[in-house]
């Protein structure tokens, strides 16, 4: 009788398609009240602004979690694109010394939630939130570029059908068994 009760509850659960929280990714999302506030602050900061002022407006410190320093190659890409540097050795050295004055930072700002629901023979995962990255490039301590990349509104849905999952498990098991058999056969063939 107990088994029937659990089977009925399981059937009701599957039929209802209940949402189950799967996980959450939260990186620096509490620095700003909303993505709109972040956008308005970014728009208000003008090139040429001192680094300290930029950090103050964005409420950043050197201890802000996940505030990453950008390497010279990435700074080159952000400032000049993927252009190749050509010229005489003296011109290339002048360019490199000019690029050495640049400092860059990236800051991921992400808040994503994931929910899963079980339906008739399928599993659906929904992802919602925002996923952005702030890029700051300074030239001799003055802002050269400020870019807010990414998606302000993420809403994705991915559906997997149970027979696909079962097939992958069966296929994986068969491949694993075949690999073991081939290895054993090779071992037997060795003197």
Q: Does any domain span residue 169?
A: no
Q: Which domain holds residue 150?
A: 2-161
The torsion angles phi and psi of 135, rounded to 5 degrees, stand at -120, 125
Q: Does any domain span residue 75?
A: yes
Report if pTM > 0.75: no
Assign 3-state DSSP to the chain and report helix, strand, coil percentages, each to 5: 45, 35, 20
| In the predicted structure, residue 30 carries a pLDDT above the cut 60 | yes
Per-residue model confidence (pLDDT) at position 190: 44
Q: Does any domain span residue 87?
A: yes
What is the 8-class DSSP label of residue 50? B
Asked whether 104 and 147 are in contact (CB, 8 A), the reply is: no
Per-residue model confidence (pLDDT) at position 178: 46
Taking alpha carbons only, the member of 102, 107, 103 closest to residue 42 is: 107
Per-residue model confidence (pLDDT) at position 125: 76
pLDDT in tens, 40-95: 999 999 999 999 999 999 999 888 888 999 988 888 888 777 777 788 888 888 88
In which band, very low, low, confident or very high, does the pLDDT at 19 lie, cut at 50, 70 and 90?
Answer: low
| Number of domains forming the structure of the chain | 1
> Greater confidence, 157 or 182?
157
Q: Does any domain span residue 79?
A: yes
Mean pLDDT of the chain: 76
Asked whether 124 and 116 are in contact (CB, 8 A), the reply is: yes
State how far the Cα of 19 lies from the Cα of 126, in Å rounded to an integer.
9
Q: Does any domain span residue 7?
A: yes
In which band, very low, low, confident or very high, does the pLDDT at 158 lie, cut at 50, 70 and 90?
Answer: confident
In degrees to the nearest 10, what's the CA dihedral of 94, 99, 100, 104?
Answer: 180
**Neighbour tally for 112: CB within 10 Å:** 17
Q: Does any domain span residue 177?
A: no
- Write down the residue that tokens 């972040």 correspond to: 38
Most confident of 62-66, 135-139, 185-189: 135-139
Q: Which two tokens stand for residue 172?
A: 């994986």
Sign of CA dihedral 74, 79, 85, 90: negative
Per-residue model confidence (pLDDT) at position 11: 55
pLDDT in tens, 91-134: 888 888 888 889 999 998 887 777 777 677 777 777 777 788 89
Q: Does any domain span residue 166?
A: no
Helices (H), the chain: 2-16, 35-44, 51-57, 72-80, 89-99, 162-189
Q: Does any domain span residue 105?
A: yes
| In the predicted structure, residue 1 carries a pLDDT above the cut 80 | no
Most confident of 21-25, 61-65, 120-124, 182-186: 61-65
Per-residue model confidence (pLDDT) at position 85: 76
Taking alpha carbons only, the member of 165, 155, 153 closest to residue 126 is: 155
């Amino acid at each position: 009788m107990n088994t029937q009760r659990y089977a009925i509850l399981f059937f009701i659960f599957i039929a209802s398609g209940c949402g189950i929280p799967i996980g959450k990714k939260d990186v620096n999302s509490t620095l700003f009240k909303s993505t709109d506030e972040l956008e308005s602050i970014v728009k208000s900061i003008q090139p040429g602004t001192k680094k300290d002022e930029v950090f103050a407006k964005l409420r950043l410190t050197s201890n802000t979690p996940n505030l990453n320093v950008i390497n010279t190659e990435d700074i080159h890409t952000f400032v000049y694109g993927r252009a190749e540097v050509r010229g005489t050795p003296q011109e290339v050295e002048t360019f490199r010394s000019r690029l050495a004055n640049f400092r860059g930072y990236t800051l991921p700002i992400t808040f994503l939630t994931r929910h899963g629901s079980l339906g008739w023979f399928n599993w659906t995962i929904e992802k919602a939130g925002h996923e952005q990255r702030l890029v700051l490039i300074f030239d001799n301590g003055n802002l050269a570029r400020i870019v807010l990349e990414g998606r302000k509104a993420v809403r994705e849905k991915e559906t997997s059908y149970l027979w696909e999952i079962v097939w992958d498990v069966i296929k994986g098991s068969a491949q694993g068994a075949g690999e073991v058999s081939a290895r054993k056969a090779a071992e037997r063939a060795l003197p």
